[in-house]
Each structure stands twice: as structure tokens, then as C-alpha cells.
Amino acid sequence: MTDVLKLPPESRPMANRFRGFLPVVVDVETGGFDCRRHALLQVAAVFLRRGADDRLYRERTLSLHVRPFEGGLLDPKSLEVNGIDPFHPLRIAHPEDQAMGRLFSEVRREVKLNQCKRAILVGHNAHFDLGFVHTAAERCGIRRNPFHPFSSLDTVSLSALAYGQTVLARAAEATGLTWDNESAHSAAYDAEMTADIFCAITNRWMDTAGIPQSAALIPDAAV
């Protein structure tokens, strides 16, 4: 049985939908704003599916707590915002190399499953998340990084275009989602909200303008 046949029966591979890139929605929670100096504390990835009608929807979420790397800085103001106690005895966190290895392994599987050539990170202020992902990979000596090295899809820009909003909570509300302030600043929650916004805008555009013919094509191997 091929990887393509392991997709849910109602799904199609992403394949050429985004020029061979697989959108993976990522959110990170960190100990500050500098990806080289501040610790990565939590990373979440949301994997999407393409329905038979070409609409996108959220399928599953991978969420991992990460131990601060040796010498990583922790800004108390950032910890106050995200509510993370990096050294709480009940916090089940993985060493950074193991967390990134697990994340990349899951992403590579999805890339293969969807017949894409590599992943492209989707995020709210995506350059921030992409910087922490790439820097952590470099720090851990991981060479098989499935994400595009510099391109990303930013829901800040998409939300500004679609709804006139740039703040994640306001963009979610404009999409018709219910925003929970108590759950916000968890990597999994923020990633799932970002994924729902991305899918809503993408589907709305398709309903209005359709999609390019090349984006609708599915490689022969998917048949």
C-alpha cells in the first residue's frame, strides 16, 4: 500500500496545490524574541488536509514541550505572557534535539504522504516561528530540515487582506471563531487558531476566484 492510499478516503494529496509545497502551520512559545539567545520552550505543528472539493481543513496537531538549551536565556516578561514554567517538575519536556527530530520526522512523513517536495511554514508573524525552527535545527546539528529555508505563508498579511485585521485574536473573531483568552499563548491553541484562519481565507478565495488549473492537477502517481 502506498503512502497516498493512507490518506483518508475523502482527502486528496496537496501535491501541486501550493506549487509542490506542503503548508504546515507552526507556532512556538519561547523565552524571548532572539532566536539565537532565547530558549525554545514549546512547538506545535498543525497538519492540514485537502478535501475532495479542494477545500482545506485542520486534521491533527503535534505539540511538544522543549527543555531550554544549555545557556538559553529566559526573559521573565516572555514567561509571564506565555505562562510557562520551564522547570516545573510536572512539565514533560523533551531535549531540544529530540523535539526537533520528532517534529521534522512528522513533517517529512506528511510531505511524502501528500506528494510534495518540501514543507512551507504557515504562521502568524511567520518569520518569528521560522527563525526559531531553523536556529534550533542548526543548534542541534539537524541537516534534514523539511521546511523551506526562507519562504513562509503569513496569516498576518492574509488576515489584513481578508478582514482588515492583523492581531491573531481579532483575525480569529473576524473569521467567525470563538477566541479563548485563557487558552491563548499555548503553542497548540495558537497554531490551531492560525490553521483555521489560514483554511478559512484559502477556502474563501477559492470559492470566489477558484484556483489555478496547475494547482488543481494531481500527479499521476496519486491515481
65 part of the active site: no
Among 20, 19, 26, 11, CA closest to 56: 11
- What count of other Cβ atoms lies within 10 Å of the Cβ of residue 129? 29
The single residue of 65, 94, 148, 185 carrying the catalytic annotation is 185
Q: Phi/psi at 195 (nearest 5 deg)?
A: -65, -45
Residue 64 identity: L
Q: Phi/psi at 78 (nearest 5 deg)?
A: -70, -40
165 alpha-carbon distance from chain centroid: 20
Residue 103, C-alpha cell as written in the block: 517534529
Name residue, grid cell 483555521: 196
Name residue, grid cell 487558531: 193
Q: Left if phi > 0, otherwise alpha if psi is -120 to 50, otherwise beta: which for 163?
A: alpha
Catalytic residues: 185
